[in-house]
C-alpha cells in the first residue's frame, strides 16, 4: 500500500470563499469583501467603496458560518482525516490593529475546531488566505509596508495561544509565490495602487511586490519560530502554487527560459521558506529588474531560524514556455505561458496535467527533503443537475482519480507525502472569477451567481466515490 497508514485525506476551503456573514459578530471588512463577482471573460472589480445594488460574492458565499456543523458532518461521512480551512483575520482583528481580539470571532473558530475534533478530523489552518483586512490596505498599502510584520505576528500569537492543544498543523500564507507575478499583489498582499480596478491586474510595481514578499517571509519565519515556542507539537508549513513549467521544445533557448521562469515562480519562495535564505539566482534577477530589497540587519537570522516543518502546495495545471514570444500567453492559462499540445484544458483554460503532479512531487522532494502535502487540487467545472436532482460529476471523479494515481506513483518513487486535501470539497466562490458556477465540490450548494439559492447541500456522485477512496486508503479509485 503506497500511502502511509495515517495519510491525511481530506478537503480544503478558505474563509472568504465559503463563510459569508461578512459583517456579522464584529467581523471587519477584508480585501475580498470589496470585490464584485466576475466570470472567465469578465474580470472581478475592486470597489473600495461598496456600491449599492452590486453583488459581492464573499458577503454571503455559501454561508458556512451558519452551516459549519452540517458541512463538517458531511466531511466526516466521507471519512475526512483532515479539514483545511482558513481563519478570517478580520474576525479576530477587524481592522488588524485593535488592542484586543474579537472574542466572538475567536469563539467561532473554537466551534469549528471542536466540531472537527468531535469526528477525529485534524484541523489544518491557513492563517492568511487572500483576506488581508482592508483597513490595513488603506493605512499601509498592505504588505508593501514593514509595519505589517508586527501586526501579523500579533494575530498569529493570538490564535497560536488560543487554539493550543487542539490544532497541530498551520500554514502561514496561502500561495505566497502568487506575488512573484502581478496577480498576487492585491489578492495575497493587500496592495492597492492608485488606478487599479481589475482584480487580477494591479497597477504593477514589481519592486513593491518583491519588497512586500520580503516582509511576508520575515513575518512567516517569526510566526514559525513563535509557534514552536508556544507549542512544540505545532507543525508549520509554507504554501505555494506549484505549476510545473516545461520547455515548449528542446531548443536550449526554451529550456533556459523555462529554468528562469521556474526559479522565480516555483522555487524562489519555497527556497527562502524551507532553506532560510535567498537563493543565489535572485541576485541577477533583482539586478536586471532594478529591484533592491530593503532588509534590516536581523532579517537574515530571522529567516534562518524560521524554516518551515513541511512544504505544502496547490496543484491545478502545468505551463509551457517558449523563447518565441508569439507563442507565449496561450489561451486562458492563469499563469501565462504557451499552450501544451499534449494537454486538454478545463472550461476555464487551466491545462490539466496529472503526470505533472508526479513530476512536481519528485522535483520538490528532491530539492527539499522534507514532508510534502498537496493542499489543493481539483477541477472547477459547470455541474448540471439531472431531472432527478442528482449531479453525475464523472469528469471530476476522472480528474481526481488521475491525480491520485500519480501521487501514488510519486510515493512509490520515494516522496514523503503527508496528505491530500482537494480544493473546494464543498462548492464555494471562485477566487479568480468570483463565480459560484465554477464548482469543485463533492457537495453541491444551492447558491447561484445572481445571489439566489437556499444554501441547501446535496451530495454529488463524487461524494460516494471519494468516501471509498479514503476508506481504502487510496486503493479503490
Ligand atoms: C487557489 C486558491 O489558487 O486556487 C484558492 O488558493 C482558489 O483560493 C483555488 O479558489 C481555485 O481557483 P479558482 O479561481 O478556480 O477559485
- Residues 100-111 have a mean pLDDT of 98
- Asked if residues 289 and 206 have their Cβ atoms less than 8 Å apart, the reply is yes
pLDDT interval class at 67 (50, 70, 90): very high
Dist. CA 348–CA 343, nearest whole Å: 14
- Ligand 1 atom index nearest CA of 239: 6
Dist. CA 285–CA 272, nearest whole Å: 15
Q: Residue 66 in 3-state DSSP?
A: helix
pLDDT in tens, 414-449: 999 999 999 999 999 999 999 999 999 999 999 999
Decide if pLDDT at 207 tops 90: yes
Tell me if residue 115 is catalytic.
no
pLDDT in tens, 79-94: 999 999 999 999 999 9
pLDDT of residue 333: 63
Grid cell of 344 as nine digits:
486538454
Taking the whole predicted model, whether its pTM rises above 0.90 is answered as yes
Q: Residue 422 in 3-state DSSP?
A: coil
Dist. CA 231–CA 156, nearest whole Å: 13
Domain definitions of the chain by residue range:
8-471
Q: How far is the CA of 162 from the centre of ligand 1 (A)?
A: 28
pLDDT in tens, 134-156: 999 999 999 999 999 999 999 99
Instruction: For residue 433, report the phi and psi dihedrals to the nearest 5 degrees.
Output: -115, -15
Mutation probe of ligand 1 site: the residue of 177, 314, 433 with most atoms within 8 A of C-beta: 314
pLDDT interval class at 248 (50, 70, 90): very high
**Quick count: other Cβ atoms within 10 Å of Cβ 477?**
14
Q: How many CA atoms lie within 13 A of 229 on its CB side?
A: 10
Decide if pLDDT at 332 tops 60: no
Residue 177 Cβ < 6 Å to ligand 1? no
Residue 435 Cβ < 6 Å to ligand 1? no
Topology at the third CATH level for domain 8-471: TIM Barrel (3.20.20)
Cα 235 to its chain centre, rounded Å, is 18
Amino acid at each position: 500500500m503506497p500511502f502511509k497508514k495515517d495519510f491525511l485525506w481530506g478537503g480544503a476551503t478558505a474563509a472568504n470563499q465559503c463563510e459569508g456573514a461578512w459583517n456579522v459578530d464584529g467581523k471587519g471588512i477584508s480585501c475580498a469583501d470589496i470585490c464584485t463577482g466576475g466570470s472567465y471573460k469578465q474580470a472581478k472589480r475592486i470597489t473600495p467603496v461598496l456600491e449599492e445594488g452590486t453583488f459581492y460574492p464573499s458577503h454571503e458565499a455559501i454561508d458556512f458560518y451558519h452551516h459549519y456543523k452540517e458541512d463538517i458532518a458531511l466531511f466526516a461521512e466521507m471519512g475526512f482525516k483532515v479539514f483545511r480551512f482558513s481563519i478570517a483575520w478580520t474576525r479576530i482583528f477587524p481592522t488588524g490593529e485593535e488592542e484586543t481580539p474579537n472574542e466572538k470571532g475567536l469563539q467561532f473558530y473554537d466551534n469549528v475546531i471542536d466540531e472537527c475534533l468531535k469526528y477525529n478530523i485534524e484541523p489544518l489552518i491557513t492563517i492568511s488566505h487572500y483576506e488581508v483586512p482592508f483597513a490595513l490596505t488603506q493605512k499601509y498599502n498592505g504588505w508593501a509596508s514593514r509595519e505589517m510584520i508586527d501586526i501579523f505576528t500579533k494575530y498569529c500569537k493570538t490564535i497560536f495561544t488560543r487554539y493550543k492543544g487542539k490544532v497541530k498543523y498551520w500554514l502561514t500564507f496561502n500561495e505566497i509565490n502568487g506575488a512573484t507575478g502581478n496577480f498576487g499583489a492585491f489578492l495575497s498582499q493587500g496592495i492597492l495602487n492608485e488606478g487599479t480596478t481589475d482584480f487580477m491586474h494591479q497597477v504593477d510595481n514589481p519592486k513593491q511586490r518583491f519588497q512586500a514578499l520580503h516582509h511576508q517571509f520575515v513575518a512567516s519565519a517569526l510566526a514559525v519560530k513563535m509557534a514552536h515556542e508556544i507549542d512544540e507539537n505545532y507543525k508549520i508549513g509554507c504554501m505555494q502554487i506549484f505549476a510545473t513549467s516545461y520547455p515548449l521544445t528542446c531548443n536550449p533557448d526554451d529550456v533556459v527560459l523555462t529554468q528562469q521562469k521556474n526559479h522565480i515562480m516555483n522555487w524562489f519562495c519555497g527556497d527562502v521558506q524551507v532553506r532560510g535564505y535567498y537563493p543565489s539566482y535572485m541576485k541577477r534577477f533583482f539586478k536586471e529588474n532594478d529591484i533592491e530589497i530593503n532588509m534590516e540587519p536581523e532579517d537574515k537570522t530571522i529567516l534562518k531560524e524560521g524554516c518551515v516543518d513541511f512544504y505544502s502546495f496547490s496543484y491545478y495545471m502545468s505551463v509551457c514556455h517558449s523563447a518565441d514570444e508569439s507563442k507565449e500567453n496561450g489561451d486562458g492559462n492563469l499563469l501565462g505561458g504557451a499552450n501544451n499540445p499534449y494537454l486538454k484544458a478545463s472550461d476555464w483554460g487551466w491545462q490539466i496535467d496529472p503526470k505533472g503532479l508526479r513530476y512536481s512531487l519528485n522535483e520538490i522532494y528532491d530539492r527539499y527533503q522534507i514532508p510534502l502535502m498537496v493542499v489543493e487540487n481539483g477541477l472547477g467545472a459547470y455541474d448540471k443537475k439531472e431531472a432527478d436532482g442528482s449531479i453525475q460529476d464523472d469528469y471530476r471523479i476522472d480528474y481526481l482519480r488521475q491525480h491520485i494515481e500519480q501521487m501514488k506513483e510519486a510515493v512509490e518513487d520515494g516522496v514523503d507525502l503527508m496528505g491530500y486535501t482537494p480544493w473546494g470539497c464543498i462548492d464555494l466562490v471562485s477566487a479568480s472569477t468570483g463565480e459560484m458556477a465554477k464548482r469543485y465540490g463533492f457537495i453541491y450548494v444551492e447558491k447561484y451567481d445572481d445571489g439566489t439559492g437556499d444554501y441547501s447541500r446535496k451530495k454529488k456522485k463524487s461524494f460516494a466515490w471519494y468516501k471509498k477512496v479514503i476508506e481504502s486508503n487510496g486503493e479503490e479509485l
